[in-house]
Amino acid sequence: YKKPMWDVLTGRRDGRVSLLSEANANIPSPLSNFSTLLQNFSSKGLGLEDLVVLS
């Protein structure tokens, strides 16, 4: 290869411990309606555009 190469850091940077209870508390139910999803996103400082983009 004659292209420049660089090291890429790998691994998670958001924490060292994953807990099922915390994950489930922050993931909306697949049965949630629009109003519930919007309220859930709003409680985390996210808006309608975030909901649409991430859905």
Annotated binding site: 28
Q: Which residues are annotated binding-site positions for substrate?
A: 28
Q: Residues 40, 28: contact at Cβ < 8 Å? A: yes
Cα 26 to Cα 1, 21, 49, distances in angstroms: 44, 9, 19
